[in-house]
Amino acid sequence: MGHFLSPCLMEPISPLLLIRKDDGFFPVEMSGHSFPAGIDRCVDSRVEADTLMKGFKLIYMAKASVPAVDAKPKKTKDIFQKRQAQIIQKATKLFMKKGYAQTTMREISKATGIDLRNLYYFIKSKDEILYLVCQMIHTPMMEIIRRQTILDIDDPVLQLQTIFEELIEFGYDCNQELLLMYRESKSLSKKLRKVIFHQESLLVSRVEDVLKKGKERGVFQFEDASFTANFLVYGLSLHPLRSWNMKDYTKEELKHLLVKNLMSTVLA
């Protein structure tokens, strides 16, 4: 998203927010940020391993490297970003309908109306598209568990309940993307898969920390903290995985029942 360069230690960058709303993705360019040296930018030659998210509920932020001189005109960059967002949206629908492995770049080209040769200017590969979809899910999730208002909650019961409520609220509006991530993330290249698994592990570790704190204070009981944290995080995906059989429940009913049942698993 934006104008990508090959990996290097330090360049001015222009982060791009990819905001998901209803049935579309809307790119919003930001400026005034820099990317410190030493962070791995080689996961993919055009996709950052490290992501940030502030102030948006449903977004993916990609850092787009912009040269300090001879930058593309703003109009050209806007077109690039809009095209890339369009490709991600159309490709996601194809992946859900046909499966990741069965979908070809030629079919993505046809769905977007972009010539195949031009398509590779905006998107390097199917792998990159799937990775961006996964990041669109993981980035807001990581922001939730790192949110200071949640970190400041001293009561482990309230803290865990708040984490569950926030994650369920987020996940409810992106069922298709969550389902795609669970179903197809195994198809990513080894390097990109490693990034996704690391982010998933961070989420589980945060829940595990809260569980351990609660057990020390006598409000939680469980046999194994790591297993329980993995079990609870997986339980948060109940609606995306089973939405076809849960159509009679409202969003608030599902949220209430899911939080109640997850919390009852660990409450002393």
- Banded pLDDT at 176 (limits 50, 70, 90): confident
- Banded pLDDT at 49 (limits 50, 70, 90): very low
- pLDDT over 70 percentage in the chain: 72
CATH 1.10.357.10, the chain: domain bounds: 130-264
Q: Is the pLDDT of residue 198 over 50?
A: yes
pLDDT at 74: 63
pLDDT digits (tens, 9 = 90+) for 126-162: 999 999 888 888 888 999 999 999 999 999 999 999 9
pLDDT digits (tens, 9 = 90+) for 215-258: 999 999 999 999 999 999 999 999 888 888 999 999 999 999 99
Q: Is the pLDDT of residue 48 over 70?
A: no
As its CATH architecture, domain 12-125 has Orthogonal Bundle (1.10)
Question: Average pLDDT, whole number, for the chain?
Answer: 77
Assign domain 130-264 to its CATH superfamily: Tetracycline Repressor, domain 2 (1.10.357.10)
pLDDT digits (tens, 9 = 90+) for 13-47: 333 444 444 444 444 444 433 333 333 332 333 33
CATH 1.10.10.60, the chain: domain bounds: 12-125
pLDDT at 133: 85
pLDDT digits (tens, 9 = 90+) for 56-75: 333 333 333 333 334 455 65
- Banded pLDDT at 210 (limits 50, 70, 90): very high
- The 3-class secondary structure across the chain, one letter per residue, is CCCCCCCCCCCEEEEEEEEEECCEEEEEECCCEECCCCCCCCCECCECCCCCCCCCCCEEEEEEECCCCCCCCHHHHHHHHHHHHHHHHHHHHHHHHHCCCCCCHHHHHHHHCCCHHHHHHHCCCHHHHHHHHHHHHHHHHHHHHHCHHHHCCCCHHHHHHHHHHHHHHHHHCCHHHHHHHHHHHHHCCHHHHHHHHHHHHHHHHHHHHHHHHHHHCCCECCCCHHHHHHHHHHHCCHHHHHHHHCCCCCHHHHHHHHHHHHHHCCEC
